[in-house]
Amino acid sequence: MFSNLAEKLQSALDKLRGRGKLTEKDVDEALREVRLALLEADVNFRVVKDFIARVRERAVGEEVMKSLTPGQQVIKIVYEELTALLGGSQAKLQFSGRTPHVVMLVGLQGAGKTTTVAKLAALLRRQGHRPLMVAADVYRPAAIKQLQVLGQQLNVPVFALTEKDDPVEIAKGGVAHARAYGNDVVLIDTAGRLHVDAEMMDELARIAREVEPKETLLVLDAMTGQEAVNVAVKFNERLNLTGFIMTKMDGDARGGAALSVKAVVGKPIKFVGVGEKLDALEPFHPDRAASRVLGMGDVLTLIEKAQAAIDEQTAQKMAEKLRTADFTLEDFLEQMQQLRKMGPLDQLLGMLPGFGPQLKGLRVDEKQLVVMQAIIQSMTPEERANPSIIKGSRKRRIAAGSGTSVQDVNRLLKQFEQTKALFKQLGGQGGRRRGMWARLFQN
């Protein structure tokens, strides 16, 4: 998420970091690179122009130029303006008054709307709500069946009629069903098209008039860039949106849509999809996103993930291992399995301040984990405790025993050493960072 933009912005601002004195020329040169980075990320041109103007006005002020650390002050200004651009503060769902609270999800076909309905239902249930999903997309083949299957996986009820019924009547029936059976939130999955057209908009407007949703959320594919912003403008003109859900954010290295949509449309991003699994929908925090873009990490999100995925006893054990960097290959495998519950390891470590560049090549997916487990289990106890003794003949024996290759064994040993060195560095960079790591795994 934002990886290309983050790399270029950090490169541009690193030239200011630590400088004892700045001139207007220094600021202008850095902002020129920032401007190019934002445009290459497919951020709306006018949004970029306004952003650079605001940053420059503050950055060349007397307070910054005469400060002891002007470079840091400029970076702080960029962070604050980037946070404002992304929405300022977290925009939560507005639930008040009589239940059920109706949430209507709209969007074009292909944006991931039906899956997002299920992800939002799962998130709301974790928060203590009793959601009902309503299958009101009667046009896309198997859309109703898809939502029913997702509902079974989540154990969340689904209200559906037939593909011959009117979507407006289905939506009304869903709300009535929720009221009768005690569901406090109704999530309506509506039909999309491959492009914005009058017929689709008229139908969505009729549904909105009948069920009066508390929230009307537009599901946008982040990877479509400025086209997503154009779609948002058209939907907002007809439906008076309350916010956006950005899908496929984990695959969007540029970030142009996310950085543009709030400024252009004036409505906030409320959730982001960060993976394919049904728990891969997260509330959007503009300040945390800005922090990650600028290489400052996102420790709060990391702590929340750890608390949700890892039990306290395991966390204490892991914290001690990571603090001392004294762990074996068996510990390595166990920790990869535990951290995997929280999400991709490279993404998690990328939330730590200053560790982005060190994570290149450090990737662990499910297939790699199976290979790693087979390799480690083919080692002797002595080899697991002391990997440095694993040389040519041992590598060949381990590869044959695990059904892998010597290259796979070498790759595992390299990843182990990278991880060990990274955690050792993390534990040795002062009390503040050690304290942060302890909070992460012991909170």
- The model's pLDDT over 145-173, given as tens digits with 9 standing for 90+, comes to 999 999 999 999 999 988 788 999 999 99
What Å distances lie between residue 175 and 28, 145, 230, 332, CA to CA? 56, 20, 31, 50
CATH code matching the domain that covers 3-85, chosen among 2.40.128.30, 3.30.70.20, 3.40.50.300, 1.20.120.140: 1.20.120.140
Residues 199 and 115 sit within 8 Å (Cβ to Cβ): no
- pLDDT recorded at residue 439: 42
Q: Tell me what pLDDT residue 134 has.
A: 95
- pLDDT one-digit tens code per residue, 363-405: 545 677 778 889 998 999 899 888 989 999 999 999 999 999 9
Query: For 274-316, what is each residue's pLDDT tens digit?
Result: 888 888 899 999 988 888 787 765 455 555 555 555 666 666 6
Q: Using one digit for the tens of pLDDT, what is the confidence trace for 49-90?
A: 999 999 998 888 766 666 657 777 888 888 899 999 999 888
For residue 305, what pLDDT is reported? Answer: 57
Confidence of residue 433 (pLDDT cuts 50, 70, 90): very low
Identify the bridge partners of residue 187 per DSSP, sorted by sequence position: 103, 133
Domain limits, CATH 1.20.120.140, in the chain = 3-85
pTM for this prediction = 0.70
Ranked by mean pLDDT, the top range of 6-10, 126-130, 355-359, 427-431 is: 126-130
Per-residue CA distances from 222 to 53, 168, 301 (Å): 26, 29, 21
Query: What is the Cα–Cα distance from 176 to 249, expressed in whole angstroms?
Result: 35
In CATH, which superfamily holds the domain spanning 101-293?
P-loop containing nucleotide triphosphate hydrolases (3.40.50.300)
> Phi first, then psi: what are they for 389, rounded to 5°?
-85, -5
Can you tell me the distance from the alpha carbon of 111 to that of 115, in angstroms, rounded to the nearest whole number? 9
CA 67 to CA 52: how far, in whole Å?
A: 21
Residue 76 to residue 82: CA distance in whole angstroms: 10
Q: Strand, helix or coil at 241?
A: coil
DSSP type of residue 306:
H
| Whether residue 436 has pLDDT greater than 50 | no
- Residue intervals in the chain for CATH 3.40.50.300: 101-293
- What's the rounded mean pLDDT across residues 353-365? 49
Output the pLDDT for position 236: 93
The pLDDT score that the predictor gives to residue 432 is 44
Q: Pull the structure tokens for residue 365.
A: 């997916």
Query: What is the pLDDT averaged over residues 239-265?
Result: 85
Which pairs with CB-CB distance under 8 Å and at least 24 residues apart come from 179-183? 179/99, 179/100, 181/132, 181/157, 182/130, 183/100, 183/130, 183/131, 183/132, 183/157
Residue 63 has what pLDDT? 66
For residues 296 and 9, what is the distance between their CA atoms, to the nearest angstrom? 12
430 versus 419: which is more confidently predicted?
A: 419
Task: Report the C-alpha gap between 243 and 266 in whole angstroms.
Answer: 9
Segment 29-47 mean pLDDT: 89
Nearest to 103 by CA among 270, 280, 282, 286: 270
CATH 1.10.260.30 positions along the chain are: 299-442
Using an 8 Å Cβ cutoff, are 6 and 293 in contact? yes
> For residue 401, what pLDDT is reported?
93
Burial-class residue 20 by CB neighbours within 10 Å (0-12, 13-18, 19+).
Answer: exposed
pLDDT value at 240 more than 70: yes
What one-character DSSP code corresponds to residue 275?
S
**Is the predicted pLDDT of residue 430 greater than 50, yes or no?**
no
Cβ density class 75-108: b for 16+ within 10 Å, e for less: bebbbbbbbbbbbeeebebeeeeebbbbbbbbbb
Nearest of 247, 207, 250, 200 to residue 228 by alpha carbon: 247
Class of the CATH domain delimited by 299-442: mainly alpha
Residue 283 to residue 304: CA distance in whole angstroms: 12
Decide if 229 contacts 218 (C-beta within 8 A).
Answer: no
